A and B are shown apart, each in its own frame.
Chain A
Amino acid sequence: MGILIVLIVIVVLLVMFVIGIYNSLVSLRNQVANAWSQIDVQLKRRHDLIPNLIETAKGYMQHERGTLEAVTNARSQAMGAKGVAESAKAEGVLGKALSKFLLTVEAYPDLKANQNFLSLQEELSSTENKIAFSRQAYNDQVLFYNNKIQMFPSNVVAGMFSFAKRDYFEIEDAGEKAVPKVSFGN
């Protein structure tokens, strides 16, 4: 009888322990998802801005069809990307195409003086900054979450309920530096 009670107590404690870990894992996973949605909002905004930007530039940049198309293609690639790793890669390519495009713009003073283009450019560079800042927060969350599901004892619970590791949102170095250099020269 005594042994039974001890066993029941142990089982109850164990179940409570598992529930506690499970709940903290769920809350961490939700925080990661929330941080990701912050980035996602900015990525969507970036994708929405590009067609307008290209449309405005088209009239001025007849001879830069290649550059414009590269941006448009990279955009559709990025929009079709599934999952964090793939989307990080596609966004990196898009960033590079955009910075090349904005470099070319320097040669077109008429376009640079266009008020509509200027305000689109401001929105775009702000969006790039927001992506960079929210990326930091997301990666911090992922580090915390991944540590938790790999460390004992929470890794046992994570394995039982198949909590999967999350990918970092890493834009490769060249892409990172390629945050468009925006020039507002008057």
Chain B
Amino acid sequence: MWEQIRANKRNSILLLVLMAAVLGLLGWIIGLSVSPDPMAGIFGLVVALIIWMILAMVSFAGGDAIFLAASKATPVTKDVHPQLFNVVEEMAIAAQLPVPKIYIINDPAPNAFATGRSPQSASVAVTAGLLGRLNRDELQGVIGHEMSHILHRDILFVTMAGVMLGAITLISEIFLRSMFYSSMGRRYSSRGRDSGGGQALMLIIAIIAAVLAPIMATLLYFALSRKREYLADAGSARLTRYPEGLAGALEKISQNTTPLSVANKVTAPMYIVNPLQKEGMKLSDLTSTHPPISERIKILRGMAGASFVDYSDAFKNATKHTTPIPSSALKQETVQIRSASGQPSVSAKNQQRNIGDIMFKTSGFRFVDCSCGLKMKIPPNYKAAQVQCPRCSQILSI
């Protein structure tokens, strides 16, 4: 496991250096395009790095809080969904990590993510749509995947790379927009300002760089984000010793057609499946944050055991590509697949009811069962200690 984390760290540093180079180069070229003075290039470089540093500091200090707030995640207590708490505790024991904070997102689309700088400050968030659809084994598979992200220190990496990508995009946007407006302005101003041919060339180079840099940075970011997903799938299989759980969960998630309303382009790579794209669409391989779900399911179902080696073999069989698992993590060990816990799948009708109930409970509603069979949902601002059943007019205490 430690080799895994070290390999991850090396990759992260390499990627960050590459992205920093793209960022610095972009700043330098833009600086030179504004003025031929070599100092202008250095000035542009410094400005670019300062913008990046400010963004990095903000995300490092409160990235997880911002992310949880942006996703409208609500911290919950165990009585809202005891099974979720139990499963998270189980996976924390299996991964030998502290139990992360648990959040529910009140959204009917099924998805989940983990965030936090270190395992000690980690949080796991799942949507109501996920909880309502999955049985125990499937939920365990999803939580195992998130716990693997925490264990492999993926979150810090994704956050840092995301910030870098954000800085590059921001600088390019500002430059291109200012070019657009200044060229509009120039039409009306005098054309007496004669800029040399070299300066015009520099300007064209800068525009090309500003267009290309975000694309390059995005491709770098997505390539590594996809690899992380495979690794976390392998980790989940190993922690739960039951690959079918995650496979079943991914299958159910892929059948969903409602997009997650709280996700956006920047937060998408953090989720277990891409919340913005539908599986039905044929995605081009380079521009997706996540591997195709059908492929992930095929790999998980092809595993002979539950170890990293088994995942790697199944990956090679299913995709004919080289394994995404770092060779240092591929130590021979036998991890047997356990038997299913015997819980049946949730029927489609019950799924919808479950999702509704979980969303009510997350919003602070309390449930009171009347002996006449009516289930009352008491809103959180109802302060009285008793309530009358509207069907049989019995007085019930809450």
- A residues adjacent to B (C-beta < 8 A): 38, 115, 119, 122-123, 125-126, 129-130, 133-134, 136-137, 177, 179, 181-186
Contact = CB atoms under 8 A, between A and B. Distances in A.
Interface stretch (B83-91, B148-156, B272-280): B83-91
Which of B90, B135, B347 has the largest number of chain A CB atoms within 10 A? B90
Contact of B89 (A119, A130, A136, A181): A130
Contacts of A133: 90, 93-94
Nearest to A136: B94
B198 interface: no
A151 to B, nearest CB: 21
Interface secondary structure of A, over-half rule: helix
Contacts of B347: 186
Interface residues of B, number: 20
Contact of A181 (B87, B94, B96, B342): B342
B89 A183 contact: no
Interface string B346-372: 110010000000000000000001000
Contact of A182 (B82, B87, B136, B369): B136
Interface in B89-111: 89-90, 93-94, 96
A177 B135 contact: no
A126 B342 contact: no
A177 B86 contact: no
A130 B90 CA distance: 5
Given A119-B82, A137-B96, A184-B135, A126 B343 contact: no
B136 A125 contact: yes
Contact of B86 (A126, A134, A183): A126
Interface in B61-96: 82-83, 86-87, 89-90, 93-94, 96
Contacts of B96: 137
A122 B343 CA distance: 11
A133 B94 CA distance: 5
A38 B86 CA distance: 15
B397 interface: no
B138 to A, nearest CB: 12
Contacts of B93: 38, 130, 133-134, 137
A31 B267 CA distance: 39
Contacts of A182: 136, 341-343
Contacts of B94: 133, 136
Given A38-B93, A182-B343, 11 more contacts: A115-B369, A122-B86, A125-B341, A126-B87, A130-B89, A133-B93, A136-B94, A183-B343, A184-B344, A186-B346, A186-B350
B339 interface: yes
A185 B135 CA distance: 10
B344 A183 contact: yes
A27 B74 CA distance: 41
Nearest to A134: B93
A138 B229 CA distance: 29
Nearest to A132: B338
A38 B350 CA distance: 36
25 contacts: A38-B93, A122-B82, A122-B83, A122-B86, A123-B82, A123-B86, A126-B86, A126-B90, A129-B90, A130-B93, A136-B94, A137-B96, A177-B339, A181-B341, A181-B342, A182-B136, A182-B342, A183-B342, A184-B135, A184-B136, A184-B343, A184-B344, A185-B344, A186-B346, A186-B347
B344 A126 contact: no
Contacts of A177: 339
Interface in B231-249: none
Q: Which 9 A-B pairs have the closest CB atoms?
A: A126-B86, A181-B342, A133-B94, A133-B93, A129-B90, A184-B343, A134-B93, A185-B344, A130-B93
B203 to A, nearest CB: 61
B348 to A, nearest CB: 12
B40 to A, nearest CB: 59
Interface in B113-167: 135-136
Nearest to B93: A133
A126 B341 contact: no
A97 B344 CA distance: 23
